[in-house]
Structure 1
């Protein structure tokens, strides 16, 4: 039996960031900012790789 179910989640349950086609940050939610330790003003329009850990490959 195949039932359609709808689930609701809180945005606070996820870390979210969005970028434009050039990889610049256009949005990040509060949990993301808290983990990164930055403000929206510090991150918006910056390349997303500025938050990349140095051990991560490019």
Structure 2
């Protein structure tokens, strides 16, 4: 059975040509993120740096996807 992903109040949109960029260390902790990533995440840069990248994971996104990244 295919699971339907429904929109929620956490969805964010960005313009064509904008890119969200983040970098993690080998354990998946954020070591860099650009301003667009920060803005769309809803967190401050200080709140993001050093945290696991899945802090921004959509609740419907399977955890295994972040493990593969």
* TM-score normalised by the chain length of structure 1: 0.75
Which of residues 27, 30, 48 is equivalent to 1:43?
A: 48
Unaligned runs of 5+ in 2: 1-16, 64-69
1:43 and 1:32 mapped to 2: Cα distance? 10
1:23 and 1:45 mapped to 2: Cα distance? 9
TM-fit CA distance, 1:18 = 0.3
- Runs of 4+, deviation exceeding 3 Å: none
TM-fit CA distance, 1:14 = 1.1
1:1-58 to 2 correspondences below 5 Å: 13-58=18-63
> Which protein is bigger by CA-based radius of gyration?
1
